[in-house]
C-alpha cells in the first residue's frame, strides 16, 4: 500500500511495489562503516547470471585484497582530490589479471570472500571470471582515479556468474589500507529489501531538490525567485512491520538551523512506502552561503542506517549557476562521472535548459566544464564547442507533450581548445561578448563534440527524478545525438556538472565605472559599509536599480574607518548598484536589499 503522508495529515492512496535498491555498504569495522557510491553489473547485458536487483544474489561477507604476485607497477592516472598530488601507480599484483586458479594459496585466500581488485591492464570481465574460478563470492573493482565507471563485460563477462561493484580510487584505497592494516572488513552488496528486519530508507531519486544547487544571489532575492519544495518517499525495506516511523527535514546555514519539521510517528508495513510532504522552505532574502538540507527517516533499532539520510546543499553565491551539486567552499562540482553518447555518428552534445523570471538581471559571461579521455589519450589539443541557443518551442512543463526541441535560434558558438591534459578539471570558456538574458526566455547552453574519445562530466546525485514528475517542473538536462535533441537527458538522474558564469547586468549604469568594490552586509536592510581600500572619493554616491534609474543619491557620504556608510533602509527589497565617484575612477558594488 502506498500512502501520501503530509506533515499534518494522512491520506490513503493506491498501492505501489517495493523499490529495488542495490547498495554497497561496509558493515565493519566502525571506522570505515557506511555506504559507498558505486556502479554495478545488476542484470546488464553481456554479464553472467548474477542479478543484483534480485535479493537472492546479495552477498554479505569478508573483503580480501587481490594479490596474484604479478611484479611491477601500473601507470599513474588522475589526481588525489584530498592532496592535489598525482595518485601513486597501482602495483600490478592488485589487478587480478594473472590469477593462478589452481594455486591452493590463492584458492584458500579468496574462496567464499568478496575480493577487492584494482582496475588495470586486462578486461573487467576477466578479473571477475578469474576471481570466481578461485571461489570468490563477489568482486569490488576500484578505478585508477577519482571517478565512477560503468564496467563493460568484454570477452569473459558472460562467463562470470558472481556480482561485482565498481568504486572510485579513494574508496578502493581506503578499503585496501584497512585490510592490509590488519582490520577485518565486512561488506554487503546487493538488493537489501527484506535482508534486514528494521530497515527504513530514502532513495536519492525519490527526494525533492531545489530548482538548482548553485544560484547567483541576484536570482534568489525572495520567494518569487527561489524556494525549496521539500518532500521524499520513505520506504520500509525491512522484513518487519513498523509502528513508530518518524520523518523530518532540517535546513541550516552556517550551523544555524533555519527550518525544521518532523512528522508524528506513523506505521508502515514491510514493503510499503509513504510520501512525506513538508511545507516549502522560503525566505524573503537569501544571504550568501550554503543552505544545507537533511532529510531523515528513522525507526527504533534501525538495522541498516546507511540510507536513512539524504544531505545536500543549495549554495547562494556571487556568479555561478549549476544544477549539479557543488562544493560549498570552492563551488567545484562534487561529482566527476564521465559520460559520452554511445550512438552518435557525427557529433553529440550535453546541455542544460535555463529559464528565470528575472533573467534580465544577469549577463551570461561563459561556462565552466570538465571532460575526460581514457589513457593513453590526452585532452591536450582537443576541442569543445560551447553553444547558446534560444529555445522557442512553447510548452508548459515536462509533462506537456509539446516539451521537445524543434525550434531554436543560435546566439553564440565558441570553441574551447585544451592546452593541457586537464582530466576532470574545470576549465573556463568566456564569451567574446557577454549575452544579455531575457526574462522567462528559454535557453539551451550546450557542450558539443564530434570527438569519439571525449567524455563529458556529469553528476549522479542528487537525482531530479522526483522533481521531474511534479506539476510545473521544467527540463534541466538535454542531450543531442547527431541532429536529434532529447529533453530527458541521460537515464538514472545524471545531470551535466558544467556551470554558467554570470554577472550583474548594469543597464543604465555609467560606462566609466572602472573599479569593483565590496560591501557588507549583503543582503542588507539598514546600514551598508562600502570598503574603500585606499580609494579616494571625490563626491557622494548614487544607487541605481536594475533599470538604471537613480533611486538614492547622497551629495556627501559618511566615511568611518576607511568605509563609506550608506543607509539603505528606505529602499524596497531588490537588487541595486552602488556607484561612488573618485579621483582616479569610480567605485562600483552590487547590493541586495532584503527587508
Q: What is the pLDDT of residues 505-556, one digit of tens each?
A: 765 555 555 455 778 888 888 888 888 777 777 777 888 876 677 888 887 7
| Sequence-ordered list of residues with C-beta below 8 angstroms from that of 532, at least 6 positions apart, any chain | 517, 559, 562, 563, 564, 587
Please, are residues 225 and 316 in contact by the beta-carbon 8 Å criterion?
no
Q: State residue 357's pLDDT score.
A: 93
Identify the bridge partners of residue 249 per DSSP, sorted by sequence position. Answer: 261, 295
State yes or no: pLDDT of 14 exceeds 50. no
CATH no., domain 337-504: 2.60.120
The mean pLDDT of 580-593, rounded to a whole number, is: 78
User: What does the alpha-carbon distance between residue 149 and residue 168 come to, in Å, rounded to a whole number?
Assistant: 8
Q: State residue 6's pLDDT score.
A: 38
Long-range contacts of 555-564 (CB under 8 A, 24+ apart): 559/532, 562/531, 562/532, 562/533, 562/534, 563/529, 563/530, 563/531, 563/532, 564/529, 564/530, 564/532, 564/537
> Taking the CA of residue 358 as centre, how many other CA atoms within 13 Å lie in the half-sphere pointing to its CB?
19
- The answer to whether the predicted template modeling score (pTM) of the entire model surpasses 0.75 is no
Q: State residue 3's pLDDT score.
A: 37
| Sequence-ordered list of residues with C-beta below 8 angstroms from that of 576, at least 6 positions apart, any chain | 543, 544, 545, 546, 551, 568, 590, 591, 592, 593
28-62 pLDDT, tens digit per residue, is 998 988 878 888 876 677 888 778 888 888 899 99
The mean pLDDT of 555-575, rounded to a whole number, is: 83
Q: State residue 43's pLDDT score.
A: 60
The mean pLDDT of 565-571, rounded to a whole number, is: 89
Q: State residue 576's pLDDT score.
A: 84
The mean pLDDT of 88-116, rounded to a whole number, is: 81
Q: State residue 562's pLDDT score.
A: 80
pLDDT band at 103 (very low <50, low <70, confident <90, very high): low
234-270 pLDDT, tens digit per residue, is 999 999 999 999 999 999 999 999 999 999 999 999 9
Identify the bridge partners of residue 372 per DSSP, sorted by sequence position. Answer: 455
322-334 pLDDT, tens digit per residue, is 999 999 989 999 8
Q: Which residue ranges make up each domain of the chain?
A: 2-6+195-318, 22-191, 337-504, 513-593
3-state secondary structure of 472: coil
Q: State residue 512's pLDDT score.
A: 52
Instruction: Say which residue, 76 or 203, is predicted with more confidence.
Output: 203
User: What does the alpha-carbon distance between residue 109 and residue 65 come to, in Å, rounded to a whole number?
Assistant: 9
Q: State residue 145's pLDDT score.
A: 80
pLDDT band at 382 (very low <50, low <70, confident <90, very high): very high
Topology classification of domain 22-191: Glucose Oxidase; domain 1 (3.50.30)
Topology classification of domain 2-6+195-318: Immunoglobulin-like (2.60.40)
Q: Do domains 22-191 and 513-593 have the same CATH topology?
A: no
CATH: 3.40.309.10, 3.40.50.2300, 2.60.40.1220, 1.10.760.10. Which one for 513-593? 2.60.40.1220
Amino acid at each position: 500500500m502506498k500512502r501520501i503522508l503530509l506533515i499534518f495529515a494522512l491520506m490513503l492512496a493506491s498501492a505501489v511495489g517495493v523499490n529495488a535498491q542495490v547498495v554497497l555498504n561496509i558493515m565493519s569495522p566502525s571506522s570505515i562503516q557506511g555506504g559507498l557510491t558505486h556502479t554495478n553489473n545488476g542484470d546488464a547485458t553481456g554479464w553472467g547470471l548474477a542479478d543484483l536487483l534480485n535479493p537472492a544474489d546479495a552477498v554479505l561477507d569478508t573483503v580480501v585484497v587481490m594479490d596474484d604476485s604479478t611484479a611491477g607497477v601500473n601507470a599513474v592516472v588522475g589526481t588525489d582530490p584530498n592532496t592535489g598530488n598525482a595518485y601513486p601507480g597501482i602495483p600490478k599484483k592488485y589487478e587480478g589479471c594473472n590469477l593462478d586458479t589452481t594455486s591452493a594459496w590463492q584458492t584458500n585466500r579468496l574462496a567464499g570472500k568478496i575480493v577487492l581488485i584494482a582496475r588495470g591492464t586486462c578486461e573487467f570481465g576477466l578479473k571477475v571470471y578469474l576471481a570466481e574460478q578461485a571461489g570468490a563470492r563477489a568482486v569490488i573493482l576500484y578505478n585508477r582515479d577519482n571517478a565512477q565507471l560503468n564496467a563493460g563485460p568484454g570477452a569473459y563477462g558472460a562467463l562470470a556468474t558472481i556480482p561485482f561493484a565498481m568504486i572510485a580510487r579513494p574508496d578502493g584505497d581506503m578499503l585496501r589500507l584497512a585490510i592490509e592494516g590488519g582490520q577485518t572488513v565486512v561488506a554487503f552488496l546487493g538488493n537489501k529489501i527484506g535482508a534486514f528486519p528494521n530497515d527504513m530508507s530514502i532513495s536519492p531519486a525519490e527526494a525533492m531538490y531545489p530548482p538548482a544547487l548553485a544560484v547567483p544571489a541576484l536570482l534568489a532575492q525572495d520567494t518569487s525567485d527561489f524556494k525549496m519544495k521539500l518532500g521524499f518517499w520513505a520506504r520500509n525495506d525491512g522484513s518487519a512491520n513498523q509502528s513508530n516511523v518518524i520523518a523530518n527535514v532540517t535546513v541550516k546555514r552556517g550551523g544555524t538551523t533555519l527550518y525544521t519539521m518532523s512528522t508524528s510517528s506513523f506505521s508502515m508495513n514491510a514493503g510499503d512506502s509513504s510520501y512525506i510532504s513538508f511545507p516549502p522552505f522560503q525566505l524573503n532574502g537569501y544571504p550568501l552561503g550554503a543552505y544545507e538540507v537533511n532529510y531523515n527517516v528513522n525507526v527504533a533499532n534501525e538495522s541498516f542506517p546507511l540510507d536513512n539520510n539524504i544531505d545536500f546543499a543549495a549554495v547562494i553565491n556571487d556568479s555561478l549557476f549549476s544544477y549539479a551539486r557543488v562544493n560549498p567552499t570552492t563551488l567545484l562540482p562534487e561529482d566527476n562521472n564521465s559520460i559520452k553518447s554511445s550512438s552518435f555518428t557525427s557529433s553529440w552534445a550535453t546541455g542544460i535548459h535555463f529559464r528565470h523570471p528575472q533573467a534580465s538581471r544577469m549577463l551570461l559571461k561563459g561556462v565552466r566544464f570538465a571532460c575526460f579521455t581514457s589513457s593513453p589519450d590526452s585532452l591536450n589539443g582537443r576541442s569543445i564547442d560551447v553553444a547558446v541557443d534560444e529555445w522557442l518551442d512553447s510548452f508548459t512543463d515536462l509533462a506537456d507533450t509539446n516539451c521537445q526541441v524543434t525550434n531554436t535560434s543560435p546566439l553564440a558558438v565558441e570553441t574551447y581548445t585544451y592546452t593541457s591534459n586537464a582530466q576532470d578539471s574545470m576549465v573556463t570558456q568566456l564569451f567574446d561578448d557577454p549575452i544579455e538574458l531575457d526574462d522567462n526566455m528559454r535557453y539551451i547552453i550546450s557542450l558539443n563534440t564530434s570527438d569519439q574519445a571525449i567524455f563529458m562530466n556529469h553528476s549522479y546525485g542528487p537525482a531530479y527524478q522526483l522533481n521531474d514528475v511534479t506539476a510545473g517542473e521544467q527540463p534541466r538536462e538535454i542531450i543531442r545525438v547527431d541532429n536529434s535533441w532529447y529533453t530527458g537527458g541521460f537515464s538514472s538522474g545524471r545531470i551535466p556538472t558544467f556551470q554558467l558564469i554570470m554577472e550583474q547586468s548594469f543597464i543604465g549604469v555609467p560606462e566609466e565605472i572602472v573599479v569593483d568594490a565590496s560591501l557588507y552586509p549583503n543582503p542588507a536592510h539598514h546600514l551598508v559599509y562600502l570598503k574603500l581600500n585606499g580609494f579616494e572619493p571625490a563626491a557622494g554616491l548614487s544607487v541605481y536599480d536594475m533599470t538604471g534609474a537613480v533611486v538614492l543619491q547622497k551629495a556627501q557620504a559618511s566615511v568611518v574607518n576607511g568605509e563609506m556608510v550608506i543607509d539603505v533602509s528606505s529602499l524596497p527589497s531588490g537588487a541595486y548598484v552602488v556607484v561612488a565617484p573618485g579621483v582616479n575612477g569610480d567605485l562600483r558594488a552590487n547590493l541586495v536589499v532584503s527587508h
